[in-house]
Amino acid sequence: MSLKALIEQGEYYKGYTYAYPHKTSYQHFEPIALKSAWAVEDKSQLFLYAHIPFCGMRCGFCNLFTTANPKLALTKAYIEALTRQAKVTYEALGEQAKFSRFALGGGTPTYLLAEELQQLFDALAIFKLDYAAIPSSVETSPATVTLDRLAILKNYHIKRVSMGVQSFSATEIKSVGRGQSNQEVIHAIEKIRKFSFPILNLDLIYGLANQDPTSWAKSLQAALSFEPEEIFLYPLYVRPLTGIGKFGFSWDDERLRLYQQGRDMLLNAGYQQMSMRHFRKPIVSQIEYADYCCQQDGMVGLGCGARSYTRGLHYSNEYAVGRKGIKAILESYNNRTEADFKQIAYGFKMDQDTQKRRFILQSILHMTGLSIELYQQRFASSPFIDYPQLNELIELQLIQNQQNNWQLTERGLELADLIGPWFYAPDIEQRMSSYELK
């Protein structure tokens, strides 16, 4: 179907394209040696990502690979397994591997006790990261912001602390199964600010039950009162096997109007829009300098829910959302030996078409834009010749040319969750539709 027809149908929210191909398109394949997968890769600008699949609670909208309130024995075994994986990965990459970006995600990495968090950083020491020099980020939650945890993050020169607030309305928070109070959020932000992390990010969600433009404006104003360097605005998606999805809840689709309201408020407050979701103060570009380019450079993922990217292969562990599926995958990960971590057997082998589509999507859905020069250097062709359907974006005035760099227009940005899935390859769509969630 043409993009114009989808827009006319009001199909604005198809899916969040944060990576391509989507993890639900991954499949099992004959084992490949980890070392050989990275042998011919450029390892001079890598992103190291460590995943902690634990949270204090499972939010109703969450479809991340995470489990709530695990026992101490589980977190201990997990850190030990991640330590084994780190050792094997370092040996496979070789000493020439250099990292220009680092992140701890989840789940909630700060769910770990302070001593466990330190053990995690001890495990990562093998990679010899220059924490003081590179951009770095850690996810947290109001309930897990404690002084001892923050002290460890500060000791490792973490640049960005990101906290999911979602809403400052008690009714809206309750509708997605969260138990935080505004006072708890305020105290958490005060503690974070006390350590002078360069970047504070706050996440908010629009499209929640009982939310209207008035309550949305109040949440936005509350967030702005803390002057965070970044704010992410996420539309609510109801997904299978999440708390909301299980009960079949639905809501009147006013997400586009709420998005526009939030965008305008943040732009008027002096924020720059970097993508449909991402807004930041101009000073962030001076703090988060890095040569890493997500369209071309590799990612090294550690942990049960992490993904790794080379140009020719994306790989990970299996994915699940339901409690039983996550438990089984976690137990399997924790039991893996060093020999097991030396093999890759699940992911996506990147053919030329997939590499091109990934490059285009990762470029065009962000305000860095699609560089014709970089695309030509990489693929010796033009994206508009390889994919004539992209011309529809021009015809609909959803992208504009800025010195041979194509960027989404204001209208294009608000339709990003439609444009992304519209450009997926048919075989990727087929894999995703046939994937059975666990």
Q: What is the DSSP string of 81-131?
A: HHHHHHHHHHHHH-TT--EEEEEEEES-GGGS-HHHHHHHHHHHGGG---T
Domain carrying residue 381? 352-431
Edge to edge, the sheet with strand 405-408 lists 370-371, 405-408, 399-401
The whole-number pLDDT of residue 295 equals: 54
- Are residues 358 and 279 part of one domain? no
Q: Examine residue 4 and state whether it is found in any structural domain, yes or no.
A: no
281 and 359 within one domain: no
Residues 86, 225 share a domain: yes
Final residue belonging to a domain, choices 287, 303, 327: 287
pLDDT at 249: 38
Residue recorded with tokens 């305008």: 264
Verify that 246 and 389 share a domain, yes or no.
no
Chain mean pLDDT for the chain: 90
94/425 Cα distance (integer angstroms) = 34
State mean pLDDT over 145-155: 98
pLDDT at 262 over 60: yes
Per-residue pLDDT at 244 exceeds 70: no
> Identity (one letter) of the amino acid at 114?
A
Same domain, 47 and 132: yes
Note whether 394 and 254 are same-domain residues.
Answer: no
**388 pLDDT more than 80:** yes
**What is the DSSP secondary-structure string of 179-241?**
---HHHHHHHHHHHHHTT-SEEEEEEEES-TT--HHHHHHHHHHHHHT--SEEEEEE----TT
pLDDT given at position 63 = 57
The verdict on residue 422 lying in a domain is yes
Last residue of a domain, one of 287, 305, 340: 287
Find the mean pLDDT for residues 254-274. Answer: 95
> For residue 301, is it within any domain?
no
Using pLDDT thresholds of 50, 70 and 90, give the confidence band for residue 78: very high
Verify that 115 and 238 share a domain, yes or no: yes
Give the pLDDT mean for 36-63: 83
Residue 386 and residue 396: Cα distance in Å, rounded? 19
Element (H or E) spanning 52, and its range?
A: strand 46-52
pLDDT, residue 286, reads 80
pLDDT in the model for residue 62: 55
Query: Quick one: pLDDT band at residue 431, thresholds 50, 70, 90?
Result: very high
Look at residue 203 in the predicted model and tell me its pLDDT: 96
**CA-based nearest residue to 162, from 303, 277, 61:** 277
Establish if 318 belongs to a structural domain. Answer: no
pLDDT at 67: 76
Would residue 147 count as lying in a domain? yes
Is residue 80 domain-shared with residue 215, that is, in the same domain? yes
Pair 267, 360 in one domain: no
- Quick check: 113 pLDDT over 80? yes
- Structure-token pair, residue 265: 């408020």
Selection from 183, 288, 172 nearest residue 230 by Cα: 288
| Confidence class for position 250, pLDDT limits 50, 70, 90 | very low
Kindly list the distances between the CA atom of residue 104 and the CA atoms of 2, 52, 86, 135, 423, in Å, as whole numbers in the listed order: 39, 7, 14, 12, 30
133 pLDDT higher than 70: yes
My answer on whether 224 and 76 are in the same domain is: yes
Give the pLDDT of residue 334.
94
**Same domain, residue pair 53 and 154:** yes
State residue 8 phi and psi, 5-degree precision. -65, -30
pLDDT of residue 87: 98
Tell me, yes or no, whether 249 lies in a domain.
yes
**72-93 vs 323-334: helix axis angle to the nearest 10?**
60
Phi, psi torsion values for 220, nearest 5 degrees: -65, -45
- The whole-angstrom separation of Cα 355 and Cα 425 is 11
The reported pLDDT for the residue numbered 241 is 36
Per-residue pLDDT at 247: 41
CA angle 191, 193, 197 (to 5 degrees): 120
CATH number at residue 241: 3.80.30.20
Instruction: Decide if 212 is inside a domain.
Output: yes
Mean pLDDT of all residues in 170-175: 87
**How many independent structural domains does the chain possess?**
2
Same domain, 278 and 356: no
Q: Residue 243 above 60 pLDDT?
A: no
In a domain, 117, yes or no: yes
Which one has a higher pLDDT value, 55 or 132? Answer: 132
The whole-number pLDDT of residue 176 equals 75
Query: Would you tell me how many other CB atoms lie within 10 Å of the CB of residue 6?
Result: 17
What is residue 40's predicted lDDT score, i.e. its pLDDT? 93
Section 36-53 average pLDDT? 94
pLDDT of residue 209: 82
Residues in the chain: 438
Q: Considering the chain, what percentage of its residues have pLDDT values greater than 70?
A: 91
Q: What CATH number is attached to the domain comprising 358?
A: 1.10.10
3-class SS of residue 33 = strand
Torsion over CA of 355, 329, 127 and 100, rounded to 10 degrees? Answer: 40
pLDDT at 57: 62
Q: CA gyration radius for the chain?
A: 21
Taking residues 412-435, report their average pLDDT.
Answer: 95
Q: Tell me, what's the pLDDT at 324?
A: 83
pLDDT of 294: 61
0.85 exceeded by pTM: yes
* Confidence check: pLDDT of 269 > 80: yes
- Of the residues 236, 268, 287, the one at which a domain ends: 287
In this predicted structure, the answer to whether residue 291 has a pLDDT above a threshold of 70 is no
